[in-house]
Chain A
């Protein structure tokens, strides 16, 4: 009887050592975020590109970026080619 109680108490004590792994690392954290080129689920998505198509999204972002280039907007100067260079 004593042996059984000792065994049970030892098992109960050692159970505390059985915690799940709480390690956090870049490899297993927040990987669930969906890429932006999948599009937003709201009515504010800009026209001119196809959500779900990465190339379409990248072209949209580059074209939109060129709207910040007043040399293109005003038609003056020597603007770079549309879309810039790609990596």
Chain B
């Protein structure tokens, strides 16, 4: 049984935001809602700047599921955490519970009325019929049912963001780390940061 997972390689992410753009475009996510975003730490600190792409991590023991008062969440057999917008009351508890800031709330109207929660679905849609218009309008594309992987991971230009079956993703990442090493051994490090390959680094940057 496939278990769907995301992993983001901070050594490769170049903060191009193509993952966020791909997600927006593929799922026609409304203005103001960002299912995926790129977070950068040590911004501007030479050699210490790192970026990762963050969205719902589809936790095995998801806190959003635990706090939802109307129990609108469910987990598929593939380990994807989804929710039912027909049940959601937009209370926002999940937003406070999530450590990744995944739940998003579209606001509209004169008083900024908060709508039903929206989040990354691992491109797996929702309870509606797979690939139907009703599902697309509420949750976006169901690429898993189309035999595809999430658009963000497939679109990533440097393949920093990997998505798919956890075993496959782990194998790819493990091979990559073994091949390239870590720290100053990473391919391209010297080119990017002006240090000789295999030269030990001494992290002294501060978080921005």
Contact residues of A with B, CB < 8 Å?
24-26, 29-42, 44-46, 48-49, 51, 57-58, 60-62, 64-71, 77-80, 83-87
Most buried by B among A29, A30, A42, A57: A30
- Take A24-B70, A44-B146 as given contacts and tell me if A34 and B129 are in contact as well, using a CB distance cutoff of 8 Å: yes
Question: In the complex, A21→B174 CA distance in Å?
Answer: 50
Looking at the complex, which one of A25, A40, A46, A68 makes contact with B130 (CB distance below 8 Å)?
Answer: A40
Q: Is B127 an interface residue (CB 8 A)?
A: yes
- A77 near B179 (CB under 8 angstroms)? yes
* Least CB distance, B128 to chain A, in whole angstroms: 8
Beyond the given A36-B124, A46-B146, A58-B2, please list 19 additional residue pairs across the A-B interface where CB-CB is below 8 A.
A29-B84, A29-B87, A30-B83, A30-B127, A33-B127, A36-B76, A36-B78, A36-B130, A37-B145, A39-B130, A62-B168, A65-B172, A67-B154, A68-B153, A70-B159, A71-B175, A71-B176, A79-B175, A84-B168
